[in-house]
Amino acid sequence: DVNNAMNAANAAIESAKLSYGDLTKMEGLDEAETALKDVPEMLQKAQKALEGSLSIAGTMMTEVRTTNQKALLLIQTLKTEQMKVRVARPRIVAAQKVKETEAKDQAALDTLMTDPNNKVNEAEDLVEKTVITHGVVEADGEDDTEVKLAVEQTHQLAVQANVAIKEALALLGQRMVAIKNFSPKIRDKANSDLNALRIRIRDLSLKLQPLSNVKQLYAQKEAANQ
């Protein structure tokens, strides 16, 4: 029966549309292809039946021609849906590959960022200790021994902080080279993370700079007071 075949074909096409949805999942495409698999045969049978009907003159001619037009429209709709599925499949495969690559690169980035983060945190801790210890020098109490000890401790902490800062910068330079082959999205994130660390290092350097020559400044002050 022509109408039954066309109704079945139309139902299959609508089922395929529901299956593929937004054309982003491979499972949906597979289901859509399965739904569309038998539609060409359905429409072919309907067309043959209609061709036979078209040769018959009589009052049903107009209805037959209308049905034939609907069949032709269904065939065109079928071709459109099949094309959507064919075009979407390689796009989904490519998107999946990108996603897998990004996951792999993100895992590598997490590992790469561990040492720089730890080193910057170490430098930050040393700078804070330097600032706190230098507070005793700035207070300039009456106990010269305590002040001199604070000067020496401030100097030693400043040296350690400067070493940590240089090591952190060296690690950042190495990481900039290591991320060049990352996928664009992860490379951009890596650049952002590394730049954030670089800004922290810059701020630490500025904070440490006036404390790095504490021994020279204290010696000048003592000489001036003599």
Q: Would you state the pLDDT for residue 207?
A: 94
pLDDT 10s digits, 167-203: 999 999 999 999 999 999 999 999 999 999 999 999 9
pLDDT 10s digits, 5-23: 677 777 877 787 777 777 7
Contact predicate 71/43, CB 8 Å:
yes
57 pLDDT band, cuts 50/70/90, is very low
CA distance 109 to 188: 11
CA distance 207 to 95: 46
Contact predicate 9/43, CB 8 Å:
yes
Write the DSSP symbol of residue 158: H
What's the whole-number average pLDDT of the chain? 84
Residue 217 has pLDDT above 60, yes or no: yes
Return the higher-pLDDT residue of 223 and 199.
Answer: 199
Return the higher-pLDDT residue of 137 and 99.
Answer: 99
Calculate Rg over the CA atoms of the chain. 38
Global pTM value: 0.66
Q: Would you state the pLDDT for residue 222?
A: 72
